[in-house]
Homo-oligomer: A and B are copies of this chain.
Amino acid sequence: MPTIKKRTVFFVSDGTGLTAEALGHSLLTQFEEVEFKQIRIPFLDTVEQAQEAVVRINAQGEVDGMRPIVFTTLVNQKLAAIVHQADAFCLSYFETFLAPLEAELGVKSSHTVGRSHGSADSSDYKNRIEAINYTLAHDDGITDRDLAEADVILVAVSRCGKTPTSLYLAMQFGLKAANFPLIPEDFDRGYLPGTLEKHRSKLFGLTIQPERLHHIREERRADSKYASLANCRYEIAEAEKMMRREGIRWLDSSTKSIEEISTTILQELKLR
């Protein structure tokens, strides 16, 4: 049995630190036998805050008996220089990549604090907020008004992940994502619900393993017909038959995160 090592990791940023954390996290997951305590220090934008961060990092190192690991995305070089004086193992995204990029592009970087999520005034950002509102107003087949505006319309039987996926598509990519449940009445009738027929090119289906659906539905309505394995098998089989017949692209969401499902939908529908 290998000893579990413990290390503290700081993500230091002049913005939200979300990007620093996302990349750091994907690197740290490569070291399974190490246990990481992760601390984010966002919005660092004064010399005083940089000095405070150094004190905090050094104090943690004393407690741990081992120097912390520090990931930084500090655009301001003066502040970066202060933080990098901490008694820590520092990895700087910007210092590492900006100089080679400047050389390749033949221009100097502006060294302005990044608004990588878009300023609240940008049109990109407004589109995202509008997409979230659209998506909430078109969740779970609430309405088929304004479907012409949708970028994508998800269809699936209840509890396949339509709602979280729709919201992620809106929030991350600014896509207007409507979603419609496929219900037994649709299968009996043999038609797509509502007015989806004329929006066929925007349709994307989700499916799921019946056992998994059974498990998820049991948590909501234990011992109901709705949650029974037999009914889950029936609904999934009918939904897949309908999607095949209608030529709707679909994927199995059973083991996929909403990020993975959303990225696949973007690829398949050639959005963005």
- The interface residues of chain B lying within 8 Å CB-to-CB of A167 are 132, 167, 171
Which chain B residue shows the least CB distance to A17?
A: B263
A114 within 8 A of B: yes
Which chain B residue shows the least CB distance to A254?
A: B120
Say how far A140's CB is from chain B's closest CB, in angstroms. Answer: 10
Which chain B residue shows the least CB distance to A67?
A: B104
A98 touches B30 (CB 8 A): yes
- The interface residues of chain B lying within 8 Å CB-to-CB of A254 are 120
- Contact pick for A93, options B15, B23, B129, B259, CB 8 Å: B23
- The interface residues of chain B lying within 8 Å CB-to-CB of A18 are 22, 172, 259, 263
Residue among A100, A133, A171 facing the most chain B CB atoms (10 A cut-off): A171
Say how far A263's CB is from chain B's closest CB, in angstroms. Answer: 4
- Contact pick for A267, options B42, B136, B264, CB 8 Å: B42
- The interface residues of chain B lying within 8 Å CB-to-CB of A15 are 26, 260
A191 within 8 A of B: no
Q: How far is the CA of A239 from the CA of B35 in the complex (A)?
A: 44
Interface size class of A (residues with CB under 8 A): 35 or more
A115 touches B29 (CB 8 A): yes
A117 touches B259 (CB 8 A): yes
B257 touches A97 (CB 8 A): no
- Contact pick for A19, options B23, B118, B260, CB 8 Å: B23
Known A42-B267, A132-B167; judge A107-B34 contact (CB<8 A). yes
B257 touches A114 (CB 8 A): no
Say how far A145's CB is from chain B's closest CB, in angstroms. Answer: 16
A19 touches B16 (CB 8 A): no
Q: How far is the CA of A264 from the CA of B255 in the complex (A)?
A: 32
Say how far A113's CB is from chain B's closest CB, in angstroms. Answer: 10
Say how far A88's CB is from chain B's closest CB, in angstroms. Answer: 10
Residues of A243-272 whose CB lies within 8 A of B: 253-260, 262-264, 267
A114 touches B29 (CB 8 A): yes
B101 touches A31 (CB 8 A): yes
Say how far A206's CB is from chain B's closest CB, in angstroms. Answer: 12
A100 touches B104 (CB 8 A): no
Q: How far is the CA of A105 from the CA of B254 in the complex (A)?
A: 35
Q: How far is the CA of A129 from the CA of B109 in the complex (A)?
A: 39
A91 within 8 A of B: yes
Q: How far is the CA of A172 from the CA of B97 in the complex (A)?
A: 26
